[in-house]
Structure 1
Amino acid sequence: MLNSHLITASSDGSMASWDISTGLAEMFSGSNGHSSQIQSMSLVDEYVITVGIDDLCVVSSVNELKHLTSMKLPSQPRCVQSVESKCLLIVVSCLEHMVLLELRNQCLVLLDQLEISLDFSTMSISRNLSLVVVGSQKLGTTSFHITPNQKLNRLSLVNATNTAPEVVAFSPNGEILATAEQDRSINLFSKIDCYMEPTNHLNL
């Protein structure tokens, strides 16, 4: 939800902005939109970033209800996250790649990509320290650091499990990572020097 509007996406690639006070919807438009199902969405400021099974990353304006730009990705994307500091950075986990993009003058620019087999994945970013944690079906839980020169550097997780978590999410201050596992347990990690050390474990 952004500015009292709910953004939704459908299996045919269309997107809508819903006014939660009236229940009315307006559709996004533009030639840079998706042609098929949208897999993941990220909201930052006035932008909504989406990835779909058409292998596209699309940036759309919430204020203008317009698809601004798009880029073809090297393999099918599964999850997208975004973070804004000096610029708008976009991280995409794909079936066979990790991709780092920047929105520059309303165009997407490829900053870095790593060829790494992730298969199905979920992802979260610690916005204050540029740490990306990915829950991968093939690799379990792994992490990447966005370096000062805007490259992706793979790191290790202390005592990480080999199973793929269903969901990973950082706390609002970026200091704690929670992973929800397939066995209905929740693991909490604290961040130390861009590595992750487990601090608690909870079974539900």
Structure 2
Amino acid sequence: MYNLIRKEFIVLRWYFLFNAAYALVFGVFLQSAFSPLMVSMLPPIMMMMFAASMELRNKAMMFVGTLPISRKQIVSAKYVTVFFYYLIGLILMAAIDAANEFAYTGKNAMTAEITLLMILLSFSFTMLYAAFYYPIQYWMGVKYSNIISFVSIFFMVIVLSTVANIIDKFSDYLITNEFIVIGIPALSLLLFYGSYRLSLAIFTRLDMAG
């Protein structure tokens, strides 16, 4: 599984620069009330899709299918990698916030303060997106699942905007609400695991090239 995860990062090595540029644009030049969510959450989502697109272009599954590894390992590696993608998003968010603090001496840093609630929400959205994306990818194939995923990103941006406004108005209540602080991340992880089991069931019935 280690080599499968390593393969993901080797394939995406040039896309990390794109993610860094994206974080710079939305975290510095186009700041908004939900910049921290955008900077921490959308890079892992884009990396999921980039990796899938690269696999389709290079027909990587046909090669992976010849290796002495199980389909369970292939699917497990995909889902474990999501946590590393999210960690990259967190690092970008912290780096952009530090850059804003340094450049503007704290006066014009990110409009929305980075809080535990922000981190938990971005984590939950990332897990939910992965839970949605991977079963579709294995069921429909990368070619069609990417179309659906790109459309869903625009809807997610709208949701993020709404969530950011709610956070701004009710942050004190939300951070003390146990269901929000613990329930939503726990629910997202539960759905993430259910998605893993579903993807595994789908993938074991498909040809590697599909």
TM-score (norm 2): 0.23
1 or 2, which has the higher helix percentage?
Answer: 2
Structure whose alpha-carbon radius of gyration is higher: 2
TM-score (norm 1): 0.23
Greater relative contact order (Cα < 8 A, sep 6+): 2
1 or 2, which has the higher strand percentage?
Answer: 1
